[in-house]
Structure 1
Amino acid sequence: MGEDELHSAPDPSQPLIEHDAATSDVVSSGPSAKVTKNLAVAGRGERLLPEGTTDVWAHDGYAYMGTFNEPCGTGTGYIPGVGEVSLVDDVEAPGIVVFDVHNNNRPEYVGNIPSVANSRTNDVKVADMNSGAVLAHSNEPCNGGPGGFELYNVDDPTAPVHLASVQTDDPNEFLRDNFGFADFGVHNVWLFTQGEKDYVAAVVESEFGNFQIFDITDPTSPEFVSAWGAESLFDPTVDWFATSDFGQILEADAYLLDGFGTSRNRFLHDVTINEEGTRAYLANWDAGLVLLDISDPTTPTLVSQAIDPNAGDGEVNSHQAWPTSDGSVVVETEEDFDAFETEFEITSGPHAGEYDAVEGSFTTPIFTLPGRTMSGPTVYAGLACDGTTVPSAPSSDHIAVIQRGDCRFDEKAQNAIDAGYAGIVVFNSAAEGDEVMIMGGESRDIPGVFVGRSTGLAIMGAASADDLAVDDTGASIEVEATPGRWGNVRIWDYADEENPVLASQFDTVCSANPTDESCDPRGTYSVHNVVVDGDEVYISWYSDGVLVVDISDPYNPVEVARYNETGTKFEERNGGIQDVWGVYKDPMEPWIYASDRNGGLYVLKELGSGSENRQE
């Protein structure tokens, strides 16, 4: 079976990696963003690791943060099995970074809980369980390492005890046995308790059963309990974990990859579970927000699916969600890094007109080019897999037209760069026809789009690829990136949990309008994560910083606070522009913990009333 026949869940962080690569050298000339005045920095846990810090969690006077792709896990200090672990004494090392925040005004670095070799620790959660304070962190390969998750006892966070390493597999036996669908990465985790039983819920990047529950009542010997996946929305009558019907599997696979907009998958991205441990809120990307009844953890049962493809920009992209304490309101985030739409036109010749196209994920974003446009005359470069066969560009504005097949997209791009082309247009193979797709690969400094086969032939004025010869000239083309929007917040009324209603949406200036003059062009203005405490939502919004939104009326959300610093002096202190990934709130306390991808830990204090209030 080839890659085009069956797909496992994509790396959910890949768009962010590509965005980082594409915007690393963009210089901002924009002014500072608007700032409300009732959030103050109380303390700082400095970690100047560019694009290196991920989620944050706090528990019993300690804050914990994860590490992104670089530095990838080294395994230094990691002890498999049960045993006390020596913390790594390097705040910029991979693993889980621990700060003592008993004094929130003066966080003190404790050390790093070691990472597994060649994997990253994207997510971390800590909770009081029956067996003590348990820390769970995810493993995702960043250099071919293992997936799964790790468990630690952190009754004393300065001397953590490693309890178990758990491998996570596809629950479908046929896929495991015949196609090696085992040892998948875990993107997020959640700890919960029911009476005397303790559990971990894991977001597994498998084909089926992305939501998996493990019994960790004995945390040294976790046991798989159950799984659920969006394939059950496609056909609830099929036992997806038992089926060996390859036709059924391919049909479900097609459904899981046929969502909305640009990023079309329906795989699970994150999960939040209520305090009673009976309801799981699954942010299932283009399957929307799924509510499961897990009162019996062995049999997760669908309660409802909250989805509105017309909301926001129509991408859906359900990224993360958090309910109010009574479950009557749920706040959901839509993560969307594609703030511009692609318009493709053949501007000369007999086939002039508009055609479908999708911008590459690894190529230079067209919105960063002058006029947000890639345009020029074209030359046919064949498959462009052998650099010696790619004709030199006749001039610096020529675009290479390339046929899909035989080698990676980034290899084709590199050969076009070496031949002096200003951009690439890749058209589909005969087998795939006019289907358009997002090209993936390692970052290359050239803009590029993918088009259907008939579009590629129309550019070249040919009836068949057999009529083409390398170095043939084609029509001129123009590809424009037009402003769309970043991802925003959706607020759902769950008064009837079986029939949730979209109460409202919330945007910032920059998420709604990426070209507003107040928006730093280096910035990422998609929303990311939320925590709900009482009637207030605490939001990490990348380059918009940390926002607090009042949802006492879920149909009329009001922003009441924001922490958003900009400017040269801040960037020097922070190690780069503001880029807030994670947020955690001490319940019923004024302390907010935020993780900046460049600068590390920020402890914020929410001040009293009377400060500026504003709704975007």
Structure 2
Amino acid sequence: MRRGLRVLPVAVLLTFAASGVGNASSEPPPTPTPKAKSSTLEFKDPEIAGGHDHQHGGNEGHLPGTSKNMELVAKLDVSGATGENREGHIADVAVFGQHAYLAARRLNTNPCGAGGFYTVDISDPKQPKELSFTAFPAGSYPGEGMQVITIDTASFKGDILVTNNEICSDAPEAVGGMSIYSVTDPKNIVPLAVGKGDFNDGTQTVANQEHSVFAWQAGERAFAMMSDDEEQSVGDVDIMEITDPANPTLIAETSIADWPTAEVGANGQTVFLHDMQIKKVRDQWLGLLSYWDAGWVILNLTDPAKPVFLADSKYPDPDKLLGFTPPEGNGHQAEWTRDNKFIVGTDEDFSPSRTSFQVTSGPNAGTYGAGEFDWTVPINTLPGQTFQGAKTVWGGTGCEEDVNGNGISDRAEVPTKAASGADVVVFTRGACFFSVKVESGQLAGYDKVIVIQSHVATSNGRFADGFFCGAQGHDFTITASAICVGHRAGHLLFEDAPEYTSAPEGSDMPALGTIGAGVKATTTFDGWGTVHLLDGKTLKEIDNYAISEALDPAFASGFGDLSVHEVATDPERSDLAYLSYYAGGMRVIKVGAKGIEEVGRYINEDGNNFWGVEAQQIRGKTYVFGSDRDSGLWIFRYTGR
């Protein structure tokens, strides 16, 4: 994904159809049945296979080891991935020349400890060697979007590494934005700019945190695109000029708010920039943006200061694999094939269930869109496999901070279950981690929590029913079940007129302690994240692929996360792509006009947890580099025809 930029001839994207926004209904089909191409693995008894010792985090056990047409050339456990620090320590991987760079997340023993990146010598792929660790400011850590390119401008000539900065909320020294390092000499890495990005017109001392970054040089100037975590759906595409990499400058912001014809017909109607690839197509620079429930968006970046929307993809409805309507969405990352005839895109979906949510009493009784957090107590383990309560209560933000500005911690103001008589506490999204809100609910005595969508994520009401269940942000003992619902539904629970633009979050809701309607939620298996093959000119979907166990309810838990994560297309062949599939291992697919065919796979006998994947030639041979979240760098060769 994030390799040195190539310029390849290709037909220019011209005309695309656009249609309206789909509804957010979450009704499952009668009998989901796998019906698309998928891998075929032989499994042991699930109870036995799910109980193996493992070298991966999350979701208990792992799939059995397997290998087809994938040779493991070498693996390197980095020095920091040991003991309690091992699980989830490694994120993405960037490969450039004879070196690989591994993004390192926060350490488990110190969640706000410094992140950074490892530099690995891969000049001999059979014997990779760790050279160094470059630490970020305390409380800052990378994730996706680390990339190395060569730039040659009036201000700098050499190789630069660009990386995102995410922020641990408890660390005052943390920086957001992006950072740039000179890696011209990988043995002498020099920081050029740290924590540069969107400071909201100078009103902030710390830049908004960014989730991903991609850099490119066009003519005599160089640029970088970033995904702004704090301006979801309104200004979340940040474009920086980095011609002088020591002095990056924000030159443009855009988002789906500027693209009124963009199609958003997927379950949840959640939209934000997650990842991107930028490439020269004949005489135009084009950006391929992974935009979650809007799928994949194409921007013309010939003038990066004035990005122009060209088109976006449309998820087939119902989806091709299990027949759900609306389709899942979650456009996470994508790449053009070498000849640009096709686009391979990945959907990241950690929750293999779909939630049916109802308001069961009051004038607004009915069915609304919702999701289930994948890290709270599963709904299907509750009595009657149902999340329900006769009364809800408004709890504010649920944050430890004093968000409402009255001099008291918002957590301390959450009405207790004993005092309210309610079964379910309702919070607004925003201002702190989802997990902090769930913990606040637990501390107040609740075992059921609802989080409603934030104002900014509704794009000023355009996606009033959109919902998003985010990741766990901190460690605590989880005893509650939790779901996420749309902002409009949150108001209707309390017989309140919906609003979408008030600040701060929650200020438009009724008074703390207001009692709301009853609720009920159940779940249905709808599979893990999948892979999409699109036509490179029209963006029409050609095929949809998943490993077979990702479509089987028997593997909904106990075998690790079975979602795809990233894709890297082959640097020499236009018909091959490589997939990092978390606990599903490393996969090789062949792509073309007839669709997707799996032609290679690898899972270690002790399991894997692959985050990133890159493909690059070294000494005339193509190698595949995977970053395993719990160990380090794994290097493969595809041995198929």
TM-score (norm 2): 0.68
Give matches, 1:117-266, under 5 Å: 117-122=138-143, 123-130=145-152, 131-143=157-169, 145-165=174-194, 167-169=196-198, 176=201, 183-207=207-231, 208-234=234-260, 259-261=264-266, 263-266=268-271
Distance 1:152 1:417, change over 3 A: closer
Name the counterpart of 1:564: 603
Name the counterpart of 2:482: 448
Question: How far, CA to CA, are the matches of 2:587 and 2:446 in structure 1?
Answer: 43
Match of 1:541 among 567, 570, 581: 581
Name the counterpart of 1:56: 93
Equivalent position SS for 1:557: strand
Question: How far, CA to CA, are the matches of 1:482 and 1:230 in structure 2?
Answer: 30
* Contact map agreement 1:366 1:372 (CA 8 A) in 2: no
Distance apart, 1:186 and its partner CA: 2.0
* Contact map agreement 1:504 1:554 (CA 8 A) in 2: no
Question: How far, CA to CA, are the matches of 1:382 and 1:203 in structure 2?
Answer: 32
Distance apart, 1:303 and its partner CA: 2.6
Give matches, 1:479-558, under 5 Å: 479-494=521-536, 497=537, 499-513=538-552, 515-517=553-555, 521-533=558-570, 534=573, 535-551=575-591, 553-558=592-597
* Contact map agreement 1:374 1:423 (CA 8 A) in 2: no
Equivalent position SS for 1:191: strand
Question: How far, CA to CA, are the matches of 2:560 and 2:271 in structure 1?
Answer: 27
Name the counterpart of 1:607: 639
Kindly provide the CA deviation profile for residues 115-173 of structure 1, in whole angstroms up to 9, marking residues without a partner as x: 12221122311122221111111112123522121222212211112222352116xxx
Give matches, 1:302-321, under 5 Å: 302-308=309-315, 310=317, 311=319, 314-321=327-334
Equivalent position SS for 2:138: coil
Distance apart, 1:300 and its partner CA: 2.4
Distance apart, 1:205 and its partner CA: 3.0
Distance apart, 1:583 and its partner CA: 0.2
User: Unpaired runs of 5+ in structure 2?
Assistant: 1-55, 397-410, 454-460, 496-509
Alignment pair present for 1:300 and 2:307? yes
Distance 1:418 1:192, change over 3 A: closer
Equivalent position SS for 2:595: coil
Question: How far, CA to CA, are the matches of 2:623 and 2:164 in structure 1?
Answer: 25
Distance apart, 1:578 and its partner CA: 1.8
Distance apart, 1:345 and its partner CA: 6.7
Question: How far, CA to CA, are the matches of 2:272 and 2:417 in structure 1?
Answer: 41
Question: How far, CA to CA, are the matches of 2:547 and 2:622 in structure 1?
Answer: 23
Distance apart, 1:601 and its partner CA: 1.0
Question: How far, CA to CA, are the matches of 2:247 and 2:450 in structure 1?
Answer: 52
Alignment pair present for 1:364 and 2:398? no
Equivalent position SS for 1:326: coil
Name the counterpart of 1:8: none
Name the counterpart of 1:326: 339
Equivalent position SS for 1:586: strand
Distance apart, 1:289 and its partner CA: 1.1
* Contact map agreement 1:317 1:334 (CA 8 A) in 2: yes
Distance 1:455 1:263, change over 3 A: closer
Name the counterpart of 1:89: none
Alignment pair present for 1:280 and 2:287? yes
Higher gyration radius (CA): 1
Alignment pair present for 1:267 and 2:279? no
Distance 1:264 1:46, change over 3 A: same
* Contact map agreement 1:401 1:456 (CA 8 A) in 2: no
Distance apart, 1:580 and its partner CA: 0.7
Give matches, 1:71-90, under 5 Å: none
What is the root-mean-square deviation in Å for CA atoms of aligned residues? 4.4
Equivalent position SS for 1:516: helix
Name the counterpart of 1:335: 348
Equivalent position SS for 1:231: helix
Question: How far, CA to CA, are the matches of 1:380 and 1:212 in structure 2?
Answer: 39
Name the counterpart of 1:461: none
Question: Comparing both structures, which one devotes a greater share of its residues to helix?
Answer: 1
Question: How far, CA to CA, are the matches of 2:195 and 2:548 in structure 1?
Answer: 43
* Contact map agreement 2:277 2:288 (CA 8 A) in 1: yes
Question: How far, CA to CA, are the matches of 1:427 and 1:292 in structure 2?
Answer: 31
* Contact map agreement 1:427 1:456 (CA 8 A) in 2: no
Distance apart, 1:233 and its partner CA: 0.4
User: Unpaired runs of 5+ in structure 1?
Assistant: 1-22, 77-92, 236-254, 458-464, 571-576, 610-616
TM-score (norm 1): 0.70
The aligned amino acid for 1:121 is: P
Identify which of structures 1 and 2 has the higher relative contact order when contacts are C-alpha pairs closer than 8 Å and 6+ apart. 2
Equivalent position SS for 1:511: helix
The aligned amino acid for 1:304 is: A
* Contact map agreement 2:175 2:206 (CA 8 A) in 1: no
The aligned amino acid for 1:595 is: S
The aligned amino acid for 1:301 is: V
Distance 1:354 1:292, change over 3 A: closer
